[in-house]
Structure 1
Amino acid sequence: MTVSRRDPLPRRFLRIAWSSVATQMAEQVALVAVPLAAVLSLGAGATETALLHVAQTLPFLVLALPFGLVIDRSSPQRVLIASEVLRAATLGAIVVLITLDSLSMGALLGLGCLGAIGTVGVSVSVPSAVPRLVTSDRLIDANRWLELGRSAAFICGPVIAGAIVSAAGAGTALVVATIACVAAAALLVRLDIPRSVPSAGGSAWRAAAHGVRYVLGHHLLRPMIVTSTIFNVGWFLIQSVFVVYAVDRLGMTATTVGIAMGAYGAGMVIGALLVPPLSRRFRLGAMTVLGPGGGFVAAVPMGITLWTPAPALAFASFFLFGFGPVIWTISTTSLRQAVTPAPMIGRVSSLVVVSTYGARPLGAGMGVAISAGFGMEWCIAVAVVVFAAQLVTVLSSALPAVRELPAAPTPASR
């Protein structure tokens, strides 16, 4: 039976979707509050904030694939709950240190790295759970719902964080983030994710290697990975220095920094809302090009701030960074879930997480080196070149030629 577009998504999916909204809200509040705590309370500069981004993203590079193996051999539910508890505990620890006036840069780096382990678990588990909770013909609807929730968090989280930090300090903002993590975990406790995927057998190393070979040998998955990696190197090259750049170069305050980052979420919402009409007008392959194209177009106004330091250009840049890439995320996530064999969904999702998040410490690390050696302005200039490279990558791949989402996943693989 064909499912109507107007039929509601399954209640089990909606529970994980609302949990995702809460966890994304916590992450966005923390991403603003923690660097602001470092800058305003500890006097951190561009190099220190870039190191903080490295610590918060390095676990994605190291632990995403092991998480994918665990999920392929079990259910994502336990990983999700444990991850949210870990995130809440680390955020709560930072609050305690701030309250006791014992916060140090070393503590922020260590706790940021530990909390990021929980974020890895959530990031791998959610896309792995979606095909177990909805039918293949509802994948785009489900992923669009998730992206709309994430977009709302990207709008509200930074603005709320900036306002709270200005009014009551970073500690209060992190209390809000901790509560959001606890709420996300509570929503997951009674979630029933079916174990419809057969457990992967054999050596863990062999299973991991098989997943890597499958992705790198796939004509659609490989360019997704490469494009996503390059995009996120450029994105975190900007993110690693943006707070300091915005305050020192653009004359922005904590509140306007939050508003600028919130513009990213506004772009995501509008992009996600436009997916249905765009998908009716354009083939799926064209939709995948809109994200990398939007990333390059977004980098241009940020580059212009090197000569014209206007906050309005930063607002426009963040809006465009949200608009195009969210269309990429919805389109490529649905395509990935459709073409991936069911027993491998965790490993494939984990490799996408590596490309999406694992590239971030590379970008942040470049930010450390470039800002320390040449100045933070060069981070912005190099990022524009990186975003041009990811657009060239996707245009030269097989992705633009894809006409529509496959009707059903490919047969199971080992």
Structure 2
Amino acid sequence: MPKPPAVALPSAFKRIGWSNLFAQFSEQIALAAAPLAAVLLLSAGPAETGWLQMAQTLPFLLLSIPAGLLVDRASRRTLMVLSEILRALSLVATLVLMASGMLTMPLLAIMGFVGAIGTVCYNVAAPALIPAIVPRAQLADANRWLELARSLAYSGGPAIGGAIVAWTGASLAYVAATTLSLLAVVLLSGLSEQEQAARSRRDLLHDLVEGARFLAGHTLLRPILVTAIVFNTSWFVLQAVYVAYAVRTLGLTATGVGVTLGIYGAGMMIGAYAAPAIARRIPFGAMIALGPLGGLLAAVVMLLTIWFPHGALAGLSFFLFGAGPVLWSIATLTLRQAITPNAMLGRVSAFITTATFGARPVGAALGAIVATHHGVKACLAVATVGFLIQFLVIIASQVPRLRALPEPA
């Protein structure tokens, strides 16, 4: 975990921070172990592992908005606890199926889907709970802590999961993931209930429309949403073809591909650590704009590998993809928490989660189509155009002109 800021964050948040770290590591270890278990234990091929990946990500697209409605109506702490328990139960069930020899691809996919339901609810509830615990002036520090935890998990989780499977088999990887998930539950259970403003029980459709209208009509949140959609679509156009491109064109080995992907996580951690120093030197809106700018520069560097096919350039590209956008994540989450009414935070977070995660399969499909008809290099060009568009969207908005956090709506 990162060093605490000069003014200590509340002890309640520290529980959430460590819980988030354990939950993120649990998720990443399980995500790495599932396809390996499918291949090693069930002799699955690329098509089967592709369907497995879809099952493990589909709840983000289907259930984020229902989760947001629930977050704004229920105890957020209780919802996070129950969500993590659900994910732990899915991991335990997978272990039991493995031990009994009853595990099949459909059952592995179902358990992955169930576990992802817990992840969705946890991820939507956590940003909505933070403003009730952390003073407004410390929101950026709190979000930086959460992003560092996510960066560590994204960097180390898959490697740890893969190493455990390679050394001892898939079962122990699921044991490790379950243990981490239960630790997250214990930490959350020690939190006291945070009061939410009393509100009348209104129609679900009314609440849904209210959240959508607020997000679409806000001059700061709307361009952030559009930028995030275009960024994620472009990112997954690139991701869809990168491994094949790196091996066949850049001449990277499997280890080399892993190193470049690991550099992405390193970039995230360095960007998150540097965030406070950057925030002291530039206006708040400019810090937000650094994320889309970093994405555009990274895409241009990757495009240069068409003429200069070196793995080092690919590594630099992934570093920029990690270091710049993590500043965006910290700053835009802080902005969202600061200007959104507390009673609406769950729904707003859910809409943004649905839009950004929904853009991912669209980007992957677009990458596959472009690669099939025009080749992998055309995908790099399409992705670069997308990153240019997302940068222009945010630059043309009022967001980069913000000197500091605006007042709540």
Amino acid at match of 2:408: P
**Contact 1:51–1:365 (CA under 8 A) maintained in structure 2:** no
Map of 1:9 onto structure 2? 9
In the alignment, residue 233 of structure 1 is paired with which amino acid?
A: T
2:408 alignment partner in structure 1? 409
Give yes or no for contact 1:236–1:360 (8 Å, CA) kept in 2.
yes
Please give the alpha-carbon distance, in whole angstroms, between the structure 1 residues aligned to 2:366 and 2:37: 22
Structure 1 residues 34 and 396, CA, compared in 2 at 3 Å: closer, same or farther?
Answer: farther
The whole-number CA distance in structure 2 between the counterparts of 1:342 and 1:321 is 31
Deviations 1:294-336 (A, max 9, x none): 1122234444556666544443333222101110011111111
Q: For the Cα contact (< 8 Å) 1:154–1:264, is it kept in 2?
A: no
Range moving further from structure 2, 311-320 or 206-215 = 311-320
Mapping 1:347-366, distance limit 5 Å? 347-366=347-366
In 2, Cα distance between equivalents of 1:104 and 1:371: 32
Identity %: 46
Equivalent-residue separation in structure 2 for 1:198 and 1:308 (angstroms): 60
Distance in 1 (CA, whole Å) between partners of 2:128 and 2:165 is: 35
**Length-normalised TM-score, structure 1:** 0.86
> What amino acid maps onto 1:85 in structure 2?
I
Following superposition of structure 1 onto structure 2, how do residues 4-403 of structure 1 map, counting pairs within 5 Å?
A: 6-38=6-38, 42-45=43-46, 49-98=49-98, 104-199=104-199, 201-240=201-240, 242=242, 250-253=251-254, 257-304=257-304, 310-367=310-367, 369=369, 379-403=379-403
Sort the Cα spacing of 1:272 and 1:89 in 2 relative to 1 into closer, same or farther, 3 A: same
1: CA distance between counterparts of 2:293 and 2:358? 22
Partner amino acid, structure 2, of 1:44: G
**In structure 2, distance between residues paired with 1:29 and 1:147:** 18
Q: Deviations over 1:15-56 (max 9, x none)?
A: 0111111111122223333344456664533x6555444332
The alpha-carbon deviation at position 189 of structure 1 amounts to: 1.3
Is the 2:77–2:194 Cα contact (8 Å) retained in structure 1?
Answer: no
Cα pair distance change 1:235/1:89, threshold 3 Å: farther
C-alpha distance 192-347 of structure 1, shift in aligned 2 (>3 A): same
Please report how far the alpha carbon of residue 376 of structure 1 lies from its aligned counterpart in structure 2 after TM superposition. Answer: 6.4
Query: Judging changes above 3 Å, is the alpha-carbon distance between structure 1 residues 90 and 379 closer, same or farther for their aligned structure 2 residues?
Result: farther
Alpha-carbon distance in structure 1 between the residues aligned to 2:219 and 2:163? 46
Residues 240 and 88 (structure 1 numbering): CA distance in 2 closer, same or farther, change over 3 Å? farther
Q: CA deviation at 1:396?
A: 1.9
| Counterparts of 1:88 and 1:108, CA distance in 2 | 14
Q: Secondary structure at the match of 2:232?
A: helix
Structure 1 residues 177, 317: CA separation in 2 closer, same or farther (over 3 Å shift)? Answer: farther
Preserved contact between residue 128 and residue 342 of structure 2 (Cα < 8 Å): no
SS of match in other structure, 1:195: coil
Question: Which piece of structure 1 moves more, 336-345 or 161-170?
Answer: 161-170
Do the aligned partners of 1:200 and 1:207 also contact (CA within 8 Å) in 2?
no
Matched residue count: 404
Q: Distance in 1 between matches of 2:146 and 2:239?
A: 23
Q: Deviations over 1:197-235 (max 9, x none)?
A: 333531011011110011000000111111111212223
What TM-score does the superposition give when structure 2 sets the normalisation length? 0.87
State the shift of 1:13 in Å.
Answer: 0.8
Shift of 1:66: 1.4
Go from structure 1 to structure 2 and tell me whether the alpha carbon gap of 1:204 and 1:166 turns closer, same or farther (over 3 Å shift).
same
Q: Which runs of 5+ in 1 are unaligned?
A: none
